[in-house]
Structure 1
Amino acid sequence: MSRKYLNFDLDTKALQEWYPDGDWHNAYMDIRRYLEEHGFEHRQGSGYISRKNLNLLQATVIVQRMAREYLWLQPCLKELDVTNVGKTVSLNEAVSDAHDERMQEIMTSQKRRLK
């Protein structure tokens, strides 16, 4: 078992036709709310990662229950992928280091020009 990453692609034209509760943009918040209540956290766009390890059946059951609650989901769904998440390593520090190095190069270059 591993954490699962769910990624949705919804057909916005179909949402405009099928979404029943006013502004179709709220469909994304409905999905977010549902998945957060069922053990996922929002990562970016239409991507959600499980907070704990799940097997494929458990992830499938969560999605199927959501589809039963939101009948507009199936006709509006272009794609829904599930990915097994291995070890996750943050690269934020690597980006910060590269940024700091480049800023130092720029500052050094500007100091040379001013001399």
Structure 2
Amino acid sequence: MYAIIFKLDITLLEQLYPSKHWHNAYDDIQKILEPLGFNIYQQNIYFGNADITPVQCVLATQKLASNLSWFTSSVSEMKMLRIEENADLIPAL
């Protein structure tokens, strides 16, 4: 399984987002990533489904950049992770 994680520079996002409601940026990102096979885990963490490949992670990143004018300049960190195991730790509590 692969995941995409990112961190937005909020100061830049507030300046670059096309409306004063910059919090909607996360909804904009979700609307692009979910149809591509990524499920939101947290606001800035998306797990790919079982069929997602590293190439699809790169293509999804490029789609964000091409569809959202503010995205590239607002991102301070973005990574692709390969997750070997996703174990629930709640039972250990």
2:8 aligns to what? 10
After TM superposition, give the deviation of residue 71 of structure 1 in Å: 1.3
Bigger Rg, which one: 1
1:26 aligns to what? 24
Q: Which runs of 5+ in 1 are unaligned?
A: 96-115
After TM superposition, give the deviation of residue 58 of structure 1 in Å: 1.5
Q: Structure 1 residue runs of 4+, over 3 Å off?
A: none
Describe the SS at the equivalent of 2:22: coil
Matched residue count? 93
Q: Percent identity?
A: 28
Q: Higher relative contact order at CA 8 Å, sep ≥6: structure 1 or structure 2? A: 2
Q: Given that residues 3 and 82 in structure 2 are in contact (C-alpha distance below 8 angstroms), is that contact kept between their aligned partners in structure 1?
A: yes
1:1-115 maps to which residues of 2 (within 5 A)?
3-95=1-93
Describe the SS at the equivalent of 1:43: strand
Give the helix-richer structure, 1 or 2: 1
Q: Given that residues 16 and 24 in structure 1 are in contact (C-alpha distance below 8 angstroms), is that contact kept between their aligned partners in structure 2?
A: yes
Q: Which runs of 5+ in 2 are unaligned?
A: none
Describe the SS at the equivalent of 1:90: coil
After TM superposition, give the deviation of residue 33 of structure 1 in Å: 2.1
Taking the aligned partners of 2:37 and 2:19, their CA distance within structure 1 comes to 24
Q: Given that residues 14 and 20 in structure 2 are in contact (C-alpha distance below 8 angstroms), is that contact kept between their aligned partners in structure 1?
A: no
Normalised TM-score (structure 2): 0.90
